[in-house]
Amino acid sequence: VKLIGMLDSPYVRRVAICMKLAKLDFEHEATSVFRHYDAFRQINPVVKAPTLVLDDGQSLMDSTLILGYLGLLEGAGERLRSFRLTALALAACEKSVQIIYERNLRPVEKQHQPWVDRVHQQLSAAYGELEAALAAQPFSDDPASLSQAAVTVAVSWHFTQRMLPEVVVARDHPGLAAFSAHAERLPVFLATPHG
């Protein structure tokens, strides 16, 4: 199978890392929904990353549905907590992407501050909830028990810190910053770098 998309997308990166942790064989194609729009369109006309292309040519998109299809969505642990943390991290990714798109995909005179303010508040709330959840019950530090939720939280935080470090301040989120630093030093994260 092929995983299509750039690793500077947290959605692509979470799938890639979870597939590697599960020792699923795949080929990664770093095709960009922006720089290689026409090439991406040949693979998936909806032009959304990640896209998983199966050996029979059928394709599947949406990182959560891809992980679900591969049987990687649910860990051995508590399903509600796992899904809650995943949803918070995905909301944080979405709100980060909305701010990045507002800044990068439209000229300054088309940017709309009330929209950015709203999204910023939602983004801060998502990371605030995640920080509180990790303070109450940290992720295991054992690389062998790295869950899908932990991967998604780590990838999300790293993405936002790389792209919007002044928007979500690391020193206000010591639990997330520490877990991210731990995760980004693991071989599977180092082998699947952002960007």
CA distance 165 to 155: 14
Q: Of the listed pieces 23-31, 119-127, 153-161, 167-175, which binds its own copies according to CB under 8 A?
A: 119-127
- 143 CB-contact burial (10 Å; exposed 0-12 / middle 13-18 / buried 19+): middle
Determine if 112 is a binding residue for its own copies (CB under 8 A): yes
> Whose Cβ is closer to its own copies: residue 5's or residue 189's?
5
CA distance 99 to 160: 10
> Whose Cβ is closer to its own copies: residue 46's or residue 191's?
46
Contact 161, 170 (CB under 8 A): yes
DSSP classification of residue 6: -
DSSP classification of residue 60: E
Interface of this chain with its own copies, residues 47 to 76, rule: CB under 8 A:
47-48, 54, 58-62, 64-65, 68-69, 73-74
CA pseudo-torsion sign 188, 90, 162, 77: negative
Determine if 79 is a binding residue for its own copies (CB under 8 A): yes
CA distance 147 to 140: 9
Find the binder of its own copies among 125, 170, 178, 188 (CB under 8 A): 125
Site string for its own copies, 134-173 (x = CB under 8 A): ----------------------------------------
The residues that touch its own copies, with contacts defined as CB under 8 A, are: 41, 45-48, 54, 58-62, 64-65, 68-69, 73-74, 79-80, 83-84, 86-88, 90-91, 105-107, 109-112, 114-115, 121-122, 125-126, 128-129
